[in-house]
Amino acid sequence: MTDPPEGPSTVDLLVVGSGPVGATVARRVRDLVPGASVLVVDAGPAVTGPPGRNVHNLPAADRAEPRHRSAGRYPAVGAGAVTPRFGTGLLRPADPEGDEQDGMPAAALSTCVGGMGGHWTCATPRPGPAERSPFVGSDDLAVAERLLGVRARPYADTAAGTRLLAGLRDALPGQDVGWMPMAGGPGEWGGVDTVLGDLDRQPGFLLRPETLCRRLLLDDGRVVGAELECLRGGRRWVVRSARWPWRPTRSEDRSCCGRRGCDHQPWAGTSTTTWR
Ligand SMILES: Cc1cc2nc3c(=O)[nH]c(=O)nc-3n(C[C@H](O)[C@H](O)[C@H](O)COP(=O)(O)OP(=O)(O)OC[C@H]3O[C@@H](n4cnc5c(N)ncnc54)[C@H](O)[C@@H]3O)c2cc1C
């Protein structure tokens, strides 16, 4: 089996994981700093075209294979009758003899370009104050809704939706019954392809499937690189920050996320980055 090319050995931003969060980080940084070189790696394969498209958009008969390929290393049903959702696999197989917490039998995830965003149901109600991380503001939610193509009343114009809503209101008098905001709408399930937009065709941007980030390289407590492994062939290599320490050029002298006082470093973008 031939390895695909490794890609750049230095980049301005490495994003580990191409789920909704990683894709959003990549897209926001490219929108705000168009010249930034961005590498997105995902341990899983690209199971749809365009990359990250919601598998629900495929004809029903064609969904089984991409769902199976997204289930990662442990797609089997675990002990204790834990059944992963379609398109996901267990984080680790449950071991009936072992420590249940260690096995985490209830945790499942997708391993594919788009992450769980390739399989999700697209329900996007705004989180209530108690559900919201303190650093996520209303402006951020508006950006997320725009990137995901959220519609507030996606089925309001369909006969089925109108009938269903009327039926629920009859059945649940006095209850607050309304439309669920959804990413996408009738005929198209939203996915990470919507977030990525045309990034995949832009120079300076590379999305590399089947590439595992094995470890981050630290210098004085800061991430300055990462060891990557091509899962098709097993070759490993290091990718480093193109310009560490970060020295913004004149055109980049605002913060990466457009907020005053942000000291977010371009290299720090991963699925777990905290935006300040
Ligand atoms: C069936 C289903 C229905 C859902 N429905 C909804 C819904 O209606 N509404 C809603 O809000 N949420 C829903 N969710 C949850 C939602 O999809 C997740 O919250 C969201 O996808 C999380 O995004 P993420 O980017 O943080 O992580 P993920 O989507 O999990 O993406 C993480 C990515 O990182 C990759 N990765 C991880 N580690 C590495 C590594 N070391 N190297 C390389 N790559 C790595 C993984 O392969 C994966 O692709 C649903 C989920 C499922 C499975």
pLDDT digits (tens, 9 = 90+) for 231-272: 998 999 999 988 655 554 544 443 334 444 434 343 433 333
Residue 116: inside a domain, yes or no? no
- Cα(161) to ligand 1 centroid in Å equals 28
On whether residue 114 sits in a domain, the answer given is no
pLDDT, tens digit (0-9, with 9 covering 90-100), for 121-151: 999 999 988 999 889 888 999 999 999 999 9
Ligand 1 close to Cβ of residue 83 (< 6 A) = no
| Residue span of the structural domain in which 134 resides | 129-190
Residues 225 and 174 in one domain: no
Residue 240 in tokens: 């480093």
Residues 166 and 220 in one domain: no
Per this entry, what is the length of the chain?
A: 276
Ligand 1 closest atom vs CA 22: 25
Residue nearest to atom 34 of ligand 1 (CA): 17
The reply to whether 78 falls in a domain is no
Asked whether residue 143 falls in the same domain as residue 180, the answer is yes
Shared domain for 212 and 252, answered yes or no, is yes
For the CA of 23, the closest atom of ligand 1 is 25
Q: Which two three-digit tokens encode residue 206?
A: 């590379």
CATH (domain of 33): 3.50.50.60
Total domains in the fold of the chain: 2
Tell whether 201 and 173 lie within a shared domain. Answer: no
Q: Model pTM?
A: 0.85
- Indicate whether 160 and 221 sit together in one domain: no
Binding site membership of 37 for ligand 1 (Cβ less than 6 Å) = no
Strand partners, 182: 123, 151
- Ligand 1 contacts CB of residue 117 (under 6 A): yes
Same domain for 209 and 257: yes
